[in-house]
Amino acid sequence: MSHVSQIQQALGSHEALVMTDAVSIRYASGFHIDDGAAVITRDGAWVITDSRYVEAASAAIRDMEVRCTSNGHPLGAMLGELAAQLGLRRAAACPSRLSHSQWTWLEQALGVPLDPDGSIVEGLRACKDRDEVDSIIAAQRIAEKALDEVLGLIKPGMTEKQIAAELVYRMYKYGGEGNSFDPIVVTGPKSSMPHGVPGENVVKDGDFITMDFGTLYNGYCSDMTRTVAVGHVTEEMRRVYDTVLQAQLAGIAAAAPGVPGRDVHEAGRKVIADAGYGEYFGHGFGHSLGLEIHENPGARPGNDAPLPEGAVISAEPGIYLPGRFGVRIEDMLWLHDGAAENLTKAPKELIIL
């Protein structure tokens, strides 16, 4: 079933759903538009964009009518005309995707009140279908190929920026459409920073290097983290690495459709806490991802809701010892048929380069 058909079935009592953000339009239409709108009713679906996109959009979009704005016929006017054509009395929109000024403008353009409902597209996006998962897998295989090559290049004297550049170049080279997010590459003491920014820090013998990165394929994100060592590791470094790996495996074993997100997090957290490092794991076990790198639902404390069938979530526990070193290992899991399928194939035993 197409995403348009799914949205139509999910409209409930709403006459129409109106979307102006690029992510929701991409989900519905399969095409990326930075500036435009989509309107979906039970009986029809429309995309309105401008001359920069209309030719490509018309060729790519199958389940929606594509209309083009002009200098004398801007987006707001076309939305008002469509609302009048359809006889709309009210419409729904996602409040988390619109600022207050955007919400006000959209109501004025349509000429009808908007009802806040974030559950239509956001709820559907939480459950990935086979095509979406295949795109995520394709992105992941590209990232894994890039990592495999870069591991053969890393040596003392390289900077974090150089390693990050090599990863990005190879992901583009092998078919990636861009970065899922700005890559995190940190070495030595900086590896204790979960979201450290690559800089001029130089790799040294005895360092851990943490690399967190991903690419896009058909608009869908991959996400992985691997921590590797250079030259040698201390006994404590190996113990921390093994603890993080066991925590990840425990969380993966606990993950399945219907399991509350907090229970998956707790399974991983307990391993780290039992090893004496509980205060050094400060983030959630994992987040969902798809067209965006951070989506709902999450495997995190406080999420009592059952993880839905079809969710794709990350599995990324870590231990971060400030000013010393850190370790994070991250895979992606697809929750379906009563279990968690690991979509990540890159090895995760401790690699010493």
pLDDT tens digits, one per residue of 157-193: 999 999 999 999 999 999 999 999 999 999 999 999 9
| 216-257 pLDDT per residue, tens | 999 999 999 999 999 999 999 999 999 999 999 999 999 999
Same domain, residue pair 196 and 309: yes
CB neighbours of residue 122 within 10 Å? 17
- Residue 182: phi and psi, rounded to 5, are -65, 125
Question: Nearest 5°: CA angle at 300, between 22 and 271?
Answer: 140
- Which amino acid does the sequence have at 272? I
pTM of the model: 0.96
Q: Verify that 136 and 240 share a domain, yes or no.
A: yes
pLDDT in tens, 115-131: 999 999 999 999 999 99
Asked if residue 74 and residue 208 are part of one domain, the reply reads no
Residues 110 and 165 both lie in one domain: no
- Give the CATH number, domain containing residue 159: 3.90.230.10
- Does 328 have pLDDT greater than 90? yes
Tell whether 134 and 259 lie within a shared domain: yes
- What does the pLDDT read at residue 332? 98
Same domain membership, residue 298 and residue 235: yes
Q: Could you read off the pLDDT of 262-306 as tens digits, one per residue?
A: 999 999 999 999 999 999 999 999 999 999 999 999 999 999 999
Condensed to tens digits (0 to 9), the pLDDT of residues 30-87 reads: 999 999 999 999 999 999 999 999 999 999 999 999 999 999 999 999 999 999 999 9
The residue segments making up the domain with residue 74 are 3-125
| Tally of structural domains, the chain | 2
Q: What helix, strand, coil percent values describe the chain, rounded to 5? A: 40, 25, 40
Which one of 125, 153, 175 terminates a domain? Answer: 125
Residues 6+ apart with CB under 8 A from 178: 172, 215, 216
Question: Cβ(323)–Cβ(274) under 8 Å?
Answer: no
What type of residue is 224?
M
Residue 18 has pLDDT above 90, yes or no: yes
CATH of the domain at 65: 3.40.350.10
Question: Residue 219: what are its φ and ψ, rounded to 5°?
Answer: 85, -5
DSSP state of 178: S
Let me know: does 252 contact 315? Beta carbons within 8 Å: yes
- Strand, helix or coil at 300? coil
Tokens of 239: 């113990």
Mean pLDDT, all residues of the chain: 97
Residue 265 — φ and ψ, nearest 5°? -60, -45
Q: Reply yes or no on whether the pLDDT at 5 is more than 90.
A: yes
pLDDT at 1: 82
> What is the chain's Cα-based Rg?
23
